[in-house]
Amino acid sequence: MSESQVPSDLRYTKDHEWARPGGADVPIGVTAFAVEQLGDVTLVSLDVKVGDTVAAGKTFGTIESVKTLSDLFAPVAGKVVRINDALATKPELVNEDCYGKAWMIAIAPSDPKEVAALMDASTYRDHIKAAAH
Amino acid sequence: MTEPELRRTSLYPEHVAHGARIVAFAGWEMPIQYTGIVDEHQAVRSAAGIFDVSHMGELRLRGQYSSHVVDYLVTGDVKKLGDGQALYTCACNERGTILDDLIVYRRAQEDWLVVCNGANRTKMSAHFSHAAENHCDYEDESDKTALIALQGPKAFEVLSAIGNADLASLKSFHFRDAVLAGVHTTTARTGYTGEDGVEVFCPWADAPMVWRALLAAGAPLGLKPVGLGARDTLRLEARLSLYGNDIDETTHPLEAGLGWIVALQKGDFVGGAALRQIAQGPLPRKLVGFEMVGRGIARHGYLLRDASSREVGVCTSGSPGPTVGKNIGLGYLPAELSEVGTHFLVDCRGKNIEAVVVKTPFYKRPKAGAK
């Protein structure tokens, strides 16, 4: 995995979500590794709306490719403050730009320390190396 | 319980060299995709694709009574076949439900080849072997027979490029012996994609020679290797049944929309009495094609519900249809809900998403010369 496929400024979960700390809220998406495993993404269903609270490790939607379906897990607890509506009509954004245009939801974390406690890039790189074998 | 060892076809090194993602399928390590399911699917619709389907089973019956044995085990009337002709059919049990779907090839009056699904090879081999006992010679040739499918509108251009232009004269569901890339093959104008093309049987060890020659000659025409993932989306758009999904030992061919492969009047065959009985009455349920109306993708095993959310059936196949541009599926519905245009619900993991029964096939290839 190259640097660009696991950006250093993000935090990661074992289920291959990323979270972007440092801003007013924390955008969440799925990693390049997850996208590679899924193949062509054909449907993103976000089952939360702005104002909902999510619990860490609970599903907030599903992502489907031609062959498979995966749950999306909230990396941290908090309130949903933004939702990327573009994914409803353009699921292919996930294949094109998983760390940018294909952010899924943004969370205002209940406890900002939870974000810092997620895997950093180098730990996540080791995690996917293990997952690939 | 220990997992049985997975087997590899003689083309396995070719798949790895082409960057395939390999999965376990029917006891084999097979390529699920190379460049991506949608990309491979489009290649077959617009140019051509090459598939390794060597995991399929090849059963050979020879001798004076071989035609009778084959005819007794399958639902189609093989007596109508001439030499070099093939028939899509199925084998049923005494209850009339489906043991496997098959293609039967008549090489000669006393020489028959039956091709069965890879996942059913052991079962079907035992079934045919048992019936052949004391009547004709039987051999399971699966281990020594490789099978390569070449499918798509440019399939015959590819064959022409390796010196087999004459194969274009093969009629649909006909076959002949042909030398491809120096390899002795039996080449049939059959397939499982909804496109024109051929399926090529050859000796196990020779398959890489045929594969490489076809790919080298075909790549400039847009030929790509295609994995099982796109094979499934291609066959679904063409509404070709997948054994284990759409048909199995709990379904009979009449409700599966396969009445056309059952020759009820042909004389005695396994399952014939049961099927004649079933054909007397109305069918309680039917396998229908449907399109999703709401945002959702139906998957194998999802429940189907009526407008009042009552469980009424099950989805047997479902996925996005890359060529038709819709999320499509097949499923069993009660007869009264099986009319084209009927709306119902697909339970997508707890979410009821609207769907509508549509005419099938979802995709029909343009007629040759209609461009």
* CB proximity B229 to A under 8 Å: yes
User: What per-residue confidence (pLDDT) applies to B2?
Assistant: 56
CA Rg value for chain B: 21
E strand segments, chain B? 21-25, 28-33, 48-52, 57-62, 85-92, 98-108, 111-116, 137-140, 145-151, 175-180, 183-188, 197-203, 223-225, 285-292, 303-305, 311-321, 326-334, 343-348, 351-358
**% chain B with pLDDT above 70:** 98
**Residue B94 located in a structural domain:** no
**Residue A7 located in a structural domain:** no
**Residue B208 located in a structural domain:** yes
Q: Do the Cβ atoms of A66 and B38 come within 8 Å?
A: yes
Confidence category of residue B3, pLDDT binned at 50, 70, 90? low
SS3 at position B85: strand
Please give the residue of chain A at the shortest CA–CA distance from B325. A42
Question: Which one of B22, B23, B37, B41 makes the best mutation probe of the A interface by having the most chain A beta carbons within 10 Å?
Answer: B37
Domain count, chain A: 1
- Interface list for B 293-332 with A (CB within 8 A): 295-297, 299, 319-320, 322, 327
**Residue A35 located in a structural domain:** yes
Is the per-residue pLDDT at B228 higher than 90?
yes
pLDDT tens column, A3-14: 458 999 999 999
Write the DSSP assignment of B223-283 as a string of letters: EEE--HHHHHHHHHHTT---BTTTBSTT--TTTTT-GGG--TTSS--TTHHHHHHHHHS--
pLDDT tens column, B165-210: 999 999 999 999 999 999 999 999 999 999 999 999 999 999 999 9
> Domain span at residue A52?
17-126
Write the DSSP assignment of chain A as a string of letters: --GGGS-TT-EE-TTSEEE--SSSSEEEEE-HHHHHHH-SEEEEEE---TT-EE-TT-EEEEEEESS-EEEEE-SS-EEEEEE-THHHH-TTHHHH-TTTTT--EEEEES-THHHHTSB-HHHHHHHHHHHT-
Mean pLDDT of the B144-152 span: 98
Q: In the A/B pair of chains, how many CB contacts fall below 8 A?
A: 39
Q: In angstroms, rounded to a whole number, what is the distance separating the alpha carbons of residues B235 and B312?
A: 25
Average per-residue pLDDT for chain A:
93
**Residue A27 located in a structural domain:** yes
User: What per-residue confidence (pLDDT) applies to B371?
Assistant: 41
**Residue A68 located in a structural domain:** yes
Q: Do the Cβ atoms of B233 and A45 come within 8 Å?
A: no
CATH number at residue B300: 2.40.30.110
Smallest Cα–Cα separation from A103: which of A90, A121, A124, A84?
A84
Q: Are residues B50 and B149 both part of a single domain?
A: yes
How high is the ipTM of this complex? Answer: 0.84
- The closest CB to that of B319, out of A62, A66, A88, belongs to A66
Q: Are residues B165 and B48 both part of a single domain?
A: yes
CA Rg value for chain A: 14
**Residue B60 located in a structural domain:** no
Is the per-residue pLDDT at B93 higher than 90?
yes
**Residue A133 located in a structural domain:** no
* CB proximity B23 to A under 8 Å: no
Residue with tokens 């081999």: B125
Q: Are residues B218 and B302 both part of a single domain?
A: no
CATH number at residue B170: 3.30.1360.120
Smallest Cα–Cα separation from A56: which of A11, A94, A89?
A11
**Residue B19 located in a structural domain:** yes
Domain count, chain B: 2
**Beta A59-65 vs A41-46: how paired, if at all?**
antiparallel
User: What per-residue confidence (pLDDT) applies to A1?
Assistant: 46
| β-bridge partners, B58 | B115
The backbone torsions φ and ψ at residue B242, rounded to the nearest 5 degrees and listed phi first, read -110, 120
**Residue A131 located in a structural domain:** no
Please give the residue of chain B at the shortest CA–CA distance from A64. B297
Q: How far apart are the first and last CA of chain A?
A: 14
- Which residues touch A92 (CB under 8 Å, ≥6 apart)? A40, A41
**Residue B131 located in a structural domain:** no
**Residue A3 located in a structural domain:** no
Is the per-residue pLDDT at B1 higher than 70?
no
- Residue B365 burial (10 A CB sphere; 0-12, 13-18, 19+): middle
Q: Are residues B224 and B300 both part of a single domain?
A: no
Q: For chain A, which residues score pLDDT lower than 50?
A: 1, 3
**Residue B337 located in a structural domain:** yes
Contacts of B33 in chain A (CB under 8 A): 39
The Cα of B320 is separated from the nearest Cα of chain A by a number of Å equal to 6
**Residue A39 located in a structural domain:** yes
The structure tokens listed for B33 are 């995709």
The structure tokens listed for B3 are 């997992």
Q: Are residues B305 and B232 both part of a single domain?
A: no
The structure tokens listed for A70 are 């995966």
CATH number at residue A119: 2.40.50.100
**Residue B305 located in a structural domain:** yes
**Residue B134 located in a structural domain:** no
> Domain span at residue B192?
12-54+144-237
